[in-house]
């Protein structure tokens, strides 16, 4: 009887692990690869062009989070500057409570992740969780790299939750905060 219970427990754990494919070690690995390529403005992970206009160009990302809906790189053109960001649509939830659970799970998984950069000391993703509010159509939690130094000192990892009709979408973005501030001032 103990053998049967143990076998059932192992199968349940395996099924649970397989059903969480969007939020796994593959997520941490993908985030690390994207951040490692940030100094190259995502040039090494940029795939085929998706769309282009005078203000912005979107590309497929060659680095994808397992189970994600899409992963893209955006290049936004302001005056004589180009700003780059990486974004992944991770999950579309039919209910706010399910979205909240996935949102919290993602934060717990990537918080304190170690990001290794060649020739530099490792960084740690750090941030403070804030529970989502169903009355808000958009909310986010931002993590930053510690120690905040060098060319990655203003790179942010943002988890966002946004309402899309009767569904809730979870997104993950990596961008340079200085680029965002300059774009707002343009």
DSSP strand pairing (70-78 vs 155-164): unpaired
Considering only CA atoms, which of 115, 16, 24, 14 is closest in space to residue 67? 24
pTM, two decimal places: 0.82
Tens of pLDDT along the chain (186 residues)?
544 443 444 444 433 333 333 445 889 999 999 999 999 999 999 999 999 998 999 999 999 999 999 999 999 988 778 899 999 999 999 999 999 999 999 999 999 999 999 888 899 999 999 999 999 999 999 999 999 888 889 999 999 999 999 999 999 999 997 655 544 555
* Class of residue 163 by CB neighbours under 10 A (exposed 0-12, middle 13-18, buried 19+): middle
Domain segments of the chain as ranges:
23-185
Query: Distances from the Cα of 11 to the Cαs of 15, 18, 25, in angstroms?
Result: 6, 11, 20
Give residue 145's pLDDT.
95
Q: What is the DSSP string of 124-137?
A: EEE-------TT-S
Q: Phi/psi of residue 9, each to 5°?
A: -65, -40
């Amino acid at each position: 009887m103990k053998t049967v219970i143990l076998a059932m427990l192992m199968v349940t754990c395996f099924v649970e692990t397989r059903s969480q494919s969007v939020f796994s070690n593959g997520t941490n690995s993908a985030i690390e690869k994207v951040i490692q390529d940030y100094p190259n403005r995502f040039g090494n992970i940029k795939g085929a062009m998706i769309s282009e206009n005078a203000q912005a160009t979107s590309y497929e990302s060659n680095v994808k989070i397992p189970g994600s809906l899409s992963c893209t790189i955006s290049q936004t053109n302001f005056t004589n500057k180009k700003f780059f960001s990486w974004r992944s649509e991770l999950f579309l939830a039919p209910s706010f409570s399910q979205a909240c659970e996935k949102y919290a799970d993602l934060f717990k998984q990537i918080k304190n992740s170690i990001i290794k950069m060649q020739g530099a000391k490792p960084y740690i993703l750090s941030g403070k969780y804030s529970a989502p509010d169903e009355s808000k159509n958009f909310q986010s939690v931002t993590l930053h790299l510690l120690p905040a130094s060098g060319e990655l000192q203003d790179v942010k990892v943002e988890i966002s939750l946004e309402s899309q009709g009767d569904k809730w979408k979870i997104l993950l973005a990596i961008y340079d905060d200085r680029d965002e501030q300059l774009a707002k001032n343009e």
